[in-house]
């Protein structure tokens, strides 16, 4: 019965007026940025992170989470109607969704996408509620050696599942680690890597890096390419799918949900990877794969369910182990740190209202999104006509004031300019900035645990092999690394990401 008590606690926390309000704001903002191409959830979270400092901790997390999963709903709308995926995770939805819209079945595609997303969101929220306490209980027995191995495993997984070159991703993690170590060393009290700048003695603020790499750099890159606009295929006549649509879609929704929930848990996974894998899976199991690309409803249902399931279940490693699995989760970790919460297994124990409230709010948010998306679809489509040149100055204001407000100093804004330029260079060099952010937030944790473990073992690295969980994690990391060197696997991985970049 403890499970139900926890759920009741969660819902009673989530339905307070403040939390409901911020859940709605998050869902609305998420839909908005999902609809608008050129503004992704990662950048939005980075920009709004400083503002959450002024909110109560739970309301802040509820809003940020809402933005992330809300974007999965919103992204599919424009993918289907105008062949312009608002988010990377809805790129595959556009393939069959837009074809359906051209055939006059836009309503059916939108409805299936929204209903499938809602179903997937519900299932993976329950999954999070069930798996959370088990994993967290398991993690409570972790010592420094286990945490070190877990961090290494998480970071390595993130490089493999991220798109692009693995060696570059490892390099980016390294840069992130270095940046995370800037400031005063907790053990010896000496300054390091600060270049003598007093402003850096407390380390670099998470918000400065996030806004620079994801906010400012993204605006510059967006302005380099002229805006592309699709035309709305048809008027939406009937929103309700036919009986035949339902019959074809529900197995795809089920498969997508399962796949997405699983891939979301893996470090480096999340919404985008889930959607691409689900599309490939649907094509493989279909009896007539030729339908795909010509308006197959399974091609909408599977990926849409998967991206939402993946978005929800990627919260699991962060909330139970304290290890973020992708850049968005690193942002949430940043938000928790701003409020003085150390994410990890103890959160569930010490602040059960925070953990269960967030989970309950995710389900409520999914319900809100269903309402926000289906009846209000016309409104969101109108927003597409707002040109980017009017939007980005507003985003700039949010970026700058946000960075300034963290410690009320102009130095941070100047530092963000540097990271903006660096972020621009990274994009030109085809280096994903996500792993850098993961390295940055995990750097201090990695060093502390390595130091502790080595201090206990008096400098002998055998401590990592003698403890079974740590050994298993290290073997898994090594196996992943070896797998990557196998040419056949490397080739499949490259092929899997080719579609994504196209």
Partner 1 sequence: MANRSELGRKGNKPDLLAGLIFIVIGALGLWAGRDLRMGNAAMMGPGYLPLIVSALILLIGLGVTIMGLMSSSEPIGVIRLRPLLIILLAVAGFAYAAGSLGFIIAAAWLIGIGSLADPETRLREIAASIVVLTIFGILVFIVGLGVQMPLGPF
Which residues sit opposite 191 in a β-bridge?
Answer: 184
Q: Pick the stretch among 235-243, 312-320, 392-400, 486-494 that binds partner 1 (CB under 8 A).
A: 392-400
Q: Is 399 in the site for partner 1 (CB under 8 A)?
A: yes
Binding test (CB under 8 A) with partner 1, winner from 393, 462, 488, 502: 393
Residue 197 within binding range of partner 1, rule CB under 8 A: no
Residue 339's φ and ψ, nearest 5 degrees, are -90, 10
Strand partners, 183: 192
Does the protein bind partner 1 through residue 466 (CB under 8 A)? no
Does residue number 401 form part of the binding site for partner 1 (CB under 8 A)? yes
394 lies in the binding site for partner 1 (CB under 8 A) = yes
Judged by DSSP in three states, 183 sits in strand
Residue 387 token pair: 């040109």
Binding of partner 1 by 417 (CB under 8 A): yes
The answer to the question of residue 49 lying near partner 1 (CB under 8 A) is no
Strands 191-192 and 183-184: antiparallel
Neighbour tally for 43: CB within 10 Å: 25
CB 140 within 8 A of CB 458: no
With the C-alpha atoms ordered 122, 347, 41, 376, is the resulting torsion angle positive or negative?
A: positive
How would you class 247 by CB atoms within 10 Å of its CB: exposed for 0-12, middle for 13-18, buried for 19 or more? Answer: exposed
Task: Report the residue from 229, 294, 382, 428 that binds partner 1 according to the rule CB under 8 A.
Answer: 428
CA atoms within 13 A on the CB side of 337: 19
User: Residue 93's closest CA among 286, 307, 411?
Assistant: 307
| Residue 187 binds to partner 1 (criterion: CB under 8 A) | yes
Identify residues 160-179 at the interface with partner 1 (CB under 8 A). 165, 167-168, 170-171, 174-175, 177-178
The alpha carbon dihedral of 206, 326, 316, 320 has a sign of negative
Residue 442 binds partner 1, judged by CB under 8 A = no
Least distance (Å) from partner 1 to the CB of residue 55? 10
Termini Cα distance of the chain:
50
Nearer to partner 1, 417 or 484 (CB): 417
d(CA 116, CA 127): 16
Q: Give the range of 288-296, 367-375, 425-433, 486-494 binding partner 1 by CB under 8 A.
A: 425-433
Residues 69-98 that bind partner 1 (CB under 8 A): none
User: Considering the rule CB under 8 A, would residue 338 count as an interface residue with partner 1?
Assistant: no
**Using the rule CB under 8 A, which residue among 3, 349, 461, 491 binds partner 1?**
461
What is the enclosing helix (H) or strand (E) of 89? none
Please answer whether residues 132 and 346 qualify as being in contact, where contact means their C-beta atoms are separated by less than 8 angstroms: no
Q: CA distances (Å), 407 to each of 199, 243, 411, in order?
A: 11, 57, 9
Least CB distance from residue 88 to partner 1, whole Å? 18
Tell me which of 1, 2, 195, 287 binds partner 1, using CB under 8 A.
Answer: 195
- Least distance to partner 1 from the beta carbon of 343, Å? 22
Q: How far is the CB of 192 from partner 1 (least distance, A)?
A: 5
Q: Which residue in 389, 462, 485, 502 binds partner 1 (CB under 8 A)? A: 389
Q: What is the footprint of partner 1 within residues 213-252 (CB under 8 A)? A: 216, 219-220, 223-225
**Complex with partner 1: residue 195 or 240, whichever CB lies closer:** 195
The least CB distance from residue 417 to partner 1, in Å, is 5
- For residues 109 and 112, what is the distance between their CA atoms, to the nearest angstrom? 5
d(Cα 453, Cα 141) in Å, to the nearest integer?
14
Residue 339 near partner 1 by CB under 8 A: no
In contact, 41 and 89? CB cutoff 8 Å? no
Q: Which residues bind partner 1 (CB under 8 A)?
A: 51, 54, 165, 167-168, 170-171, 174-175, 177-178, 181, 185, 187-188, 190, 192-195, 216, 219-220, 223-225, 387-390, 392-394, 396-397, 399-401, 404-405, 408-411, 413-414, 416-417, 420-422, 424-426, 428-431, 446-447, 450-451, 454-455, 457-461
């Amino acid at each position: 019965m403890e499970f139900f008590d926890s759920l009741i606690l969660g819902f009673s926390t989530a339905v307070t007026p403040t939390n409901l309000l911020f859940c709605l704001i998050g869902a609305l903002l998420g839909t908005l940025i999902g609809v608008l191409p050129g503004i992704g959830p990662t950048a939005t979270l980075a920009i709004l992170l400083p503002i959450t400092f002024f909110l109560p901790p739970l309301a802040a997390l509820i809003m940020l989470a809402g933005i992330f999963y809300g974007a999965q709903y919103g992204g599919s709308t424009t993918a289907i109607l105008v062949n312009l995926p608002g988010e990377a995770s809805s790129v595959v939805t556009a393939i069959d969704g837009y074809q359906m819209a051209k055939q006059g079945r836009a309503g059916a595609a939108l409805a299936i996408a929204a209903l499938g997303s809602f179903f997937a969101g519900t299932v993976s929220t329950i999954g999070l509620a069930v798996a959370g306490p088990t994993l967290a209980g398991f993690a409570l027995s972790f010592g420094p050696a286990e945490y070190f191995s877990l961090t290494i495993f998480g970071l390595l997984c993130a490089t493999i599942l991220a798109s692009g070159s693995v060696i570059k991703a490892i390099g980016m993690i390294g840069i992130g680690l270095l940046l995370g170590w800037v400031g005063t060393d907790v053990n010896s009290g000496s300054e390091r890597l600060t270049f003598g700048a007093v402003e850096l003695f407390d380390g670099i603020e998470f918000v400065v890096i996030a806004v620079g790499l994801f906010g400012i750099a993204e605006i510059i890159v967006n302005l380099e390419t002229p805006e592309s606009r699709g035309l709305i295929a048809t008027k939406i006549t009937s929103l309700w799918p036919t009986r035949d649509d339902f019959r074809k879609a529900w197995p795809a929704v089920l498969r997508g949900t399962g796949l997405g929930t699983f891939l979301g848990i893996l470090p480096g996974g999340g919404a985008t990877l889930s959607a691409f894998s689900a599309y490939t899976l649907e094509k493989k199991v279909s009896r007539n794969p030729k339908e795909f690309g010509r308006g197959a409803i399974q091609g909408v249902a599977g990926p849409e369910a998967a991206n939402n399931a993946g978005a929800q279940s990627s919260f699991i490693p962060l909330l139970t182990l304290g290890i973020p699995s992708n850049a968005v989760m690193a942002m949430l970790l940043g938000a928790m740190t701003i409020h003085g919460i150390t994410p990890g297994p103890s959160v569930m124990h010490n602040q059960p209202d925070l953990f269960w409230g967030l989970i309950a709010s995710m389900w409520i948010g999914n319900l809100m999104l269903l309402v926000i998306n289906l009846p209000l679809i016309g409104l969101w489509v109108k927003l597409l006509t707002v040109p980017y040149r009017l939007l980005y100055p507003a985003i700039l204001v949010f970026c700058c004031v946000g960075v300034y407000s963290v410690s009320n100093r102009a130095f941070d804004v100047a530092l963000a300019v540097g990271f903006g330029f660096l972020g621009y260079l990274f994009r030109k060099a085809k280096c994903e900035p996500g792993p850098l952010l993961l390295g940055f937030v995990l750097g201090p944790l990695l060093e502390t645990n390595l130091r502790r473990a080595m201090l206990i073992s008096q400098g002998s690295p055998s401590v990592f092999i003698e403890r079974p969980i740590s050994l298993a994690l290290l073997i898994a990391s090594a196996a992943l690394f070896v797998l990557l060197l196998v040419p056949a696997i490397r080739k499949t991985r490259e092929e899997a990401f080719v579609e994504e970049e196209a």
